[in-house]
């Protein structure tokens, strides 16, 4: 390994690159063309992110539910509180709107006031009949429409919570999409196209504010926002990083070269995504922008090194060669550590994160290779730098900043340790204040119309996120036994008593409605039949469904009527209360339905998502520990010193603890988006550590193993690149704060803050630790024979090698 990554290896690489410039350019153009041809394979995800492995019991239970009752997320609701809806002109238009929607091939069923069917008792035939609730011939009668509204609110408790809320005078229609399109492109195209056109046309014509929500609607507009923001991120990242790049180097040519490299990197990222067959999700959509944010620092490091070398001897050919020979292994290892930070997501056993980890890891190495190849090649074709281009090496604001750092490290190390200790305590205290969020909609864009509509339905109908309870009686027709219906009714009473849940829907509601109908629609009889009443009402029900092959109650019962379903809805803002809510339901269910006779499953999208967040937390913590282990292993291979491993880890651990503490004090919860911060930030922050230590070892050999001289000389060489790259990364990740998604904003802001802390920690705390432990870390023999020749090579070593070659 030593020989593989030693001076001779990189000298060979430099010679191959510079002697075959045209061949490499042609190869890169060919690869870019091939990958661009894969863009046609890119697809946007039409399924919801599942954070739990397929074989986990939570997913097993959810899939059991789907197998019995089918897709649950096919309901779209349209609601309003506007009393003008029940005026003749507008009500007729609303009827026509619902008819248009019902005719769309993507729609399976529309349940609305205008087409509502109610049960009516036919004593002669001893059966129940479905009759229209609204007389279509009286739609022009204002008094009749008001009576319709009153009858709906007062006499049809079966539809309470589904079509109306009498306490808040809100009314809505339920639109059930066909289940086979819910997880397909057709669902998104329909919602964003004809369905939205229907709604907007009605609103603009009659000035009625219709609120629309439901999982198909939310998912469609959420994915549209993700798609729209990809271009925003890429454009903003290119603009900000190129402006910073030009500010640092004051060279249009250098800026243009850097932009070409990152644009090619973005093209490759899309091509790799298409070639692998990954879909664009909320995470993979960030990858192209990340390639810009990560690629520009690579360009800064190589170009800054080129300028430093040219500044020394004014020989362009030698400077270009030494960019590779002096920094090849160091830059390779720093990019590997960055890739490791993202690769930790591959170990989470979650498809969404695994795809994100795979894509970022591959593309980080790809962008590094592009930088290594194209920067020497492009600069070999253009004139040598002029004094204006090299002026950044001696700027006053930089020299003043590093003078302050050097003086702090020289004379105030105790203060540095004191501040570090205070920040550590701050972080630890803040960590205990962090809450875990299992909210599905918390990260969704708050300023969009569809998010406002979500809040409307949460306030008026107690939520749109379903929570499902599936009760398996293990006996055919067992769910219809009156004893089991009474048990379900008692469980529903517990659900109703939980303020975060809506009124439940189940076969119990059907049985109550049957009794109400038997007593001529009197709402006072909306209750379960007594044992005596059951005999009469059961006869009516049997006559009603006689001759019908289809399961009349398929929304509530399995085909063999052994399994019943209770559906309620939860206010998503109470995601953190989900464990408590499930505990209350589970305790009551276990009491009513003993495990030896029944099987009760509590599931639904909101429940699965909340459990997924907890699962993700456990996995990412273990992945982060793995990243620490890998980084420590790399440092150990480089320096053969366990104490050096500790010295390298501490400055990177402190910023993570600081950020975690800040999250606790600011009330930013742990959720899928913020959990990603720590792995990403660690992988990128540790780059500065490796660069500093690599330069430090070089300066040791230059300065006759005098620790203090070596540390302070390190600032002169590596300090500028560390500062430049950290600034670019800070502003680069800040680009994500332009997002309308709360999770993406938190990800960008927290990573930026962590990297800022990381830069200061690596420039102040790291050298302070090295100086304080200099006697322990000054083992000359260990540094003379590192396991991997990662370190930059001295000019004397390179000159001697070149003389040997000549």
Task: Kindly report, residue by residue over 565-618, the tens digit of the pLDDT.
Answer: 998 888 765 466 778 888 899 999 999 999 889 999 988 877 777 777 777 777
For 269, residues 6+ apart whose C-beta sits below 8 A from its C-beta are 287, 288, 291, 359, 363, 366
The mean per-residue pLDDT over the stretch 328-341 comes to 79
Q: State in Å, rounded, how far the first CA of the chain is from the last one.
A: 26
Q: Hey, what are 271's tokens? A: 């091509």
For 521, residues 6+ apart whose C-beta sits below 8 A from its C-beta are 118, 120, 121, 155
| E-strand stretches of 192-316 | 211-213, 279-280
- Among 711, 683, 700, CA closest to 639: 700
- Among 588, 736, 628, 739, CA closest to 289: 736
Does 132 score more than 80 pLDDT? yes
Phi-psi domain of 683 (left: phi exceeds 0; alpha: psi -120 through 50; beta: other)? alpha
Distance, in Å, from the CA atom of 12 to the CA atom of 25, rounded to the nearest integer, reads: 19
Q: Hey, what are 525's tokens? A: 């009889």
User: Residue 525 has what DSSP assignment?
Assistant: G
The mean per-residue pLDDT over the stretch 25-40 comes to 92
Q: Hey, what are 680's tokens? A: 């990403």
**DSSP letters for 448-483:** SHHHHHHHHHHHHHS-SEEEEEEEE-SSTTGGGSHH
Query: Can you give the pLDDT at residue 186?
Result: 87
Query: Can you give the pLDDT at residue 422?
Result: 92
CB 174 within 8 A of CB 111: yes
- Residue 501: strand pairing partners: 570
Least confident among 47-56, 242-251, 348-357: 47-56
Q: Would you place residue 421 in the very low, low, confident or very high pLDDT band (cuts 50, 70, 90)?
A: very high
CB 512 within 8 A of CB 503: no
Query: Can you give the pLDDT at residue 781?
Result: 45
| E-strand stretches of 362-433 | none
**H helix intervals, 667-741:** 672-702, 707-734
**72-120 residue pLDDT tens:** 678 898 989 888 888 899 999 999 999 999 999 999 888 888 888 888 8
> pTM, whole model, 2 decimals?
0.74
**Number of Cβ within a 10 Å radius of residue 378:** 18
Does 27 score more than 90 pLDDT? yes
Does 3 score more than 60 pLDDT? no
Distance, in Å, from the CA atom of 507 to the CA atom of 520, rounded to the nearest integer, reads: 20
CB 638 within 8 A of CB 351: no
Strand pairing category for 43-44 and 279-280: parallel
**Which tops the pLDDT comparison, 51 or 370?**
370
DSSP run (H or E) holding 568: strand 563-570
Strand pairing category for 75-80 and 211-213: antiparallel
The mean per-residue pLDDT over the stretch 330-352 comes to 78
- Among 762, 758, 802, 727, CA closest to 304: 727
Distance, in Å, from the CA atom of 110 to the CA atom of 506, rounded to the nearest integer, reads: 19
**Which tops the pLDDT comparison, 626 or 390?**
626
**231-280 residue pLDDT tens:** 888 888 888 888 888 887 778 888 899 899 999 999 999 999 999 888 88
Q: Hey, what are 490's tokens? A: 């008692």
pLDDT above 90 covers a percentage of the chain that reads: 14
Does 229 score more than 50 pLDDT? yes
Measured CA distances, 798 to 361, 795, 801, 804 (Å): 32, 5, 5, 10
- Among 146, 142, 143, 89, CA closest to 113: 146
**H helix intervals, 525-604:** 531-545, 578-592
Query: Can you give the pLDDT at residue 785?
Result: 46
Q: Computed over its alpha carbons, how large is the radius of gyration of the chain?
A: 33
| Half-sphere exposure at residue 150, Cβ-oriented, CA atoms within 13 angstroms | 6
The mean per-residue pLDDT over the stretch 762-772 comes to 86
Distance, in Å, from the CA atom of 325 to the CA atom of 320, rounded to the nearest integer, reads: 9
């Amino acid at each position: 390994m030593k020989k593989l990554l030693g001076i001779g290896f990189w000298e060979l690489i430099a010679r191959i690159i510079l002697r075959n410039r045209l061949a490499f350019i042609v190869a890169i153009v060919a690869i870019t063309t091939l990958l661009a041809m894969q863009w046609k394979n890119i697809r946007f995800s039409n399924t919801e992110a599942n954070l739990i492995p397929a074989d986990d019991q939570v997913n097993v239970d959810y899939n059991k539910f789907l197998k019995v009752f089918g897709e649950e997320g096919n309901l779209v609701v349209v609601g309003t509180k506007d009393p003008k809806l029940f005026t003749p002109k507008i009500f007729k238009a609303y009827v026509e709107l619902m008819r248009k929607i019902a005719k769309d091939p993507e729609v399976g069923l529309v349940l609305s006031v205008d087409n509502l069917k109610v049960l009516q008792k036919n004593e002669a035939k001893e059966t129940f009949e479905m009759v229209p609730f609204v007389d279509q011939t009286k739609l022009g009668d204002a008094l009749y429409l008001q009576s319709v509204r009153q009858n709906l609110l007062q006499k049809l408790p079966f539809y309470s919570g589904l079509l109306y809320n009498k306490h808040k005078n809100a009314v809505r229609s339920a639109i059930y999409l066909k289940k086979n399109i819910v997880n397909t492109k057709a669902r998104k195209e329909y919602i964003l196209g004809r369905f939205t056109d229907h709604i907007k046309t009605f609103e603009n014509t009659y000035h009625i504010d219709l609120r629309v929500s439901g999982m198909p609607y939310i998912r469609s507009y959420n994915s549209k926002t993700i798609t729209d923001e990809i271009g925003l991120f890429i454009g903003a990242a290119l603009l900000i990083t190129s402006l910073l790049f030009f500010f640092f180097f004051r060279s249009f040519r250098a800026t243009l070269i850097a932009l070409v490299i990152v644009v090619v990197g973005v093209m490759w990222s899309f091509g790799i995504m298409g070639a692998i067959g990954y879909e664009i999700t909320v995470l993979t959509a960030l990858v192209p922008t990340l390639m810009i944010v990560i690629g520009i620092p690579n360009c800064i490091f190589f170009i800054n090194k080129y300028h430093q070398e040219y500044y020394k001897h004014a020989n362009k050919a030698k400077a270009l060669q030494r960019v590779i020979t002096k920094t090849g292994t160091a830059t390779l290892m720093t990019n590997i550590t960055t890739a490791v930070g993202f690769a930790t997501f591959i170990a989470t056993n979650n498809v969404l994160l695994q795809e994100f980890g795979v894509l970022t890891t591959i593309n980080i190495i790809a962008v590094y290779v592009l930088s290594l190849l194209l920067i020497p090649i492009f600069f070999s074709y253009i004139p040598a730098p002029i004094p204006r281009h090299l002026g950044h090496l001696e700027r006053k604001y930089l020299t003043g900043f590093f003078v302050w750092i050097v003086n702090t490290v020289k004379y105030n190390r105790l203060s540095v340790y004191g501040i570090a200790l205070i920040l550590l305590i701050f972080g630890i205290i803040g960590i205990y204040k962090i809450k875990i969020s299992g909210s599905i909609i918390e990260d969704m864009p708050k300023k969009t119309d569809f998010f406002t509509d979500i809040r409307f339905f949460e306030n008026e109908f107690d939520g749109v996120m379903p929570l499902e309870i599936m009760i398996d009686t293990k006996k055919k027709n067992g769910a219809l036994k009156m004893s089991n219906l009474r048990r379900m009714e008692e469980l529903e009473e517990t659900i109703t008593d939980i303020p975060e849940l809506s009124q439940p829907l189940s076969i119990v509601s059907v049985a109550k409605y049957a009794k109400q109908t038997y007593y001529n629609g009197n709402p006072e009889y909306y209750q379960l039949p007594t044992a005596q009443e059951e005999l009469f009402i059961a006869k009516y029900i049997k006559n009603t469904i006689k001759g019908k092959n289809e399961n009349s109650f398929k929304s509530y019962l399995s085909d063999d009527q052994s399994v019943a379903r209770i559906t309620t809805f939860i206010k998503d803002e109470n995601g953190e209360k989900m464990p408590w809510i499930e505990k209350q339901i589970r305790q009551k269910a276990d009491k009513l339905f003993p495990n030896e006779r029944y099987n009760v499953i509590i599931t639904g999208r909101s429940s699965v998502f909340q459990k997924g967040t907890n699962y993700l937390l456990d996995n990412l913590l273990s992945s982060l520990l793995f990243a620490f282990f890998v980084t420590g292993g790399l440092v150990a291979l480089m320096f053969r010193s366990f104490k050096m491993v500790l010295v390298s880890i501490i400055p990177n651990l402190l910023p993570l603890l600081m950020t975690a503490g800040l999250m606790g004090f600011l009330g930013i919860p742990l959720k899928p988006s913020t959990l990603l911060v720590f792995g990403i930030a660690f992988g990128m922050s540790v780059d500065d550590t490796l660069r500093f230590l690599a330069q430090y070892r070089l300066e040791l050999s230059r300065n006759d193993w005098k620790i203090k001289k070596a540390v302070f000389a390190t600032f002169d060489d590596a300090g500028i690149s560390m500062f430049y790259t950290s600034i670019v990364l800070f502003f680069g990740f800040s680009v994500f704060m332009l997002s309308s998604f709360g999770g993406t904003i938190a990800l960008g802001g927290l990573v930026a803050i962590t990297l800022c802390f990381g830069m200061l920690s690596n420039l102040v705390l790291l050298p302070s630790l090295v100086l304080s432990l200099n006697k322990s870390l000054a083992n000359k023999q260990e540094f003379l024979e590192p396991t991997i020749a990662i370190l930059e090579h001295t000019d004397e070593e390179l000159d001697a090698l070149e003389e040997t070659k000549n």
